[in-house]
Amino acid sequence: MRPYLEFIDIVLQLQHLEDIKELCQNVLVDIDSIQKRGHLWIEEKETSTYTDLKQYIKDKSSEMLQNCLSMIRKFKDSKFDQFAEANPLLQEVDHESASTINDPQNDSLKVKMNDRLRTTQLEKIFRKLDEPEKMKDKRDVRTEILLDDFQNVESKYIEFYEELMAELDSTSSFMSQLNTQCHTLSAELKYTTEHKSLQQRKVESITSLAELLFQKQYRFGKKCQVVLHNQDDFSHSIQDFLSQKDSFETSDEEYTRIKLQLVRKGIKTKQS
């Protein structure tokens, strides 16, 4: 079986914790409400500013701690008195002091033990109360760090977005200029192609005309050669005729025959 003093101490401690738990239920509800509002602000579903929200969290946290302290103070005297009454050491002191009630040493011992118990319990309570405050300070530091990181990331994102939009605008302007230049070059190329085709047709026409001219010139040269050849033959015939006329007299029939030959040659020459 457990020692009576230890048993009473543990029972009172558990009862004390149960009372604190009951008293802190409202505080937990307030904490949930604060956390919910903080998460809504992080998700940009809450319109409060950073300064307002931070001050709200600090005020509510301070208010909750004050409520905890005030509620604990209401119970500490009664709890310590119950513990002192249930403590066998104090009961033993009370029995001894019953015979010597006016003994100053016994009264002093009781006061010291009572003060010691109160001091021990207060130290434990304040240590437990300091833990949420320390955790709150750590959370505040982490929150500020996260907010700073978030603001840095947000500023970098905004800067990157602005640079990207400027680059897109520049690219759009360049593509528009390039499209205009492509249309202009296409029109110039089309005009050059059409002009080149026209020049090619003109060259082909001039070439055909030149070939035709060369052919006509060639035929004309041939005809000139024929005419010159016939003219030479005619000249020889005239000379032969004149020589024959001077050398002897011909008959009228012979003269007529020669004349007809000359006439025929002259007609052929003209036709050629």
- Give residue-wise pLDDT tens across range 136-166: 777 778 888 888 888 888 888 888 888 888 8
Measured distance CA(158)–CA(149) in Å, rounded? 14
User: Cβ neighbours of residue 20 under 8 Å, at least 6 residues apart?
Assistant: 72
Measured distance CA(116)–CA(186) in Å, rounded? 102
Indicate whether 149 and 260 sit together in one domain: no
Structure tokens, 166? 């400027």
Phi first, then psi: give them for residue 44, nearest 5 degrees. Answer: 60, 35
Identify the pLDDT of residue 48: 84
User: Using 50, 70 and 90 to split pLDDT, how confident is the model at 173?
Assistant: confident
Which pTM does this prediction carry?
0.28
Long-range Cβ pairs for the range 254-262 (8 Å, 24+):
261/237, 262/234, 262/237, 262/238
41 part of a folded domain? yes
Average pLDDT in the 200-224 region?
Answer: 82
* Final residue before a domain boundary, out of 110, 134, 153: 153
Identify the pLDDT of residue 137: 75
Measured distance CA(197)–CA(70) in Å, rounded? 105
* Final residue before a domain boundary, out of 99, 123, 153: 153
Measured distance CA(183)–CA(41) in Å, rounded? 54
Please name which of 243, 262, 259, 240 lies closest in space to residue 251, comparing C-alpha atoms: 259
Please name which of 49, 58, 55 lies closest in space to residue 136, comparing C-alpha atoms: 58
* Final residue before a domain boundary, out of 153, 180, 200: 153
205 part of a folded domain? no
Contact predicate 103/97, CB 8 Å: yes
Measured distance CA(143)–CA(51) in Å, rounded? 13
**Domain limits for position 256:** 220-271
Indicate whether 18 and 130 sit together in one domain: yes
Please name which of 40, 115, 34, 125 lies closest in space to residue 80, comparing C-alpha atoms: 115
4-23 and 50-86 helices cross at what angle (nearest 10)? Answer: 150
What total of structural domains would you count in the chain? 2
For the chain, the average pLDDT equals 72
208 part of a folded domain? no
Identify the pLDDT of residue 245: 57
85 part of a folded domain? yes
Q: Looking at the predicted structure, is the pLDDT value of residue 5 above 60?
A: yes
Name, of 76-90, 117-131, 194-208, 237-251, the range with top average pLDDT.
194-208
200 part of a folded domain? no
Least-confidence region, from 67-81, 90-104, 230-244 = 90-104
Half-sphere exposure in the Cβ direction for 33 (13 Å, CA): 11
Average pLDDT in the 69-78 region?
Answer: 63
Q: Looking at the predicted structure, is the pLDDT value of residue 236 above 50?
A: yes
Q: Cβ of 123: how many Cβ atoms within 10 Å?
A: 10
More confident residue, 116 or 89: 116
Structure tokens, 155? 């500023």
Please state, for a pLDDT cut of 90, what percent of the chain lies above it: 0
In 3-state terms, what secondary structure has residue 44?
A: coil
User: Using 50, 70 and 90 to split pLDDT, how confident is the model at 83?
Assistant: very low
194 part of a folded domain? no
Indicate whether 243 and 113 sit together in one domain: no
Please name which of 67, 57, 54 lies closest in space to residue 25, comparing C-alpha atoms: 67
17 part of a folded domain? yes
Contact predicate 127/90, CB 8 Å: no
Contact predicate 72/125, CB 8 Å: yes
Q: Looking at the predicted structure, is the pLDDT value of residue 271 above 60?
A: no
User: Looking at this protein, which amino acid is placed at residue 210?
Assistant: A
238 part of a folded domain? yes
Which DSSP string do the residues of 134-180 spell out, in sequence order? Answer: HHHHHHHHHHHHHHHHHHHHHHHHHHHHHHHHHHHHHHHHHHHHHHH
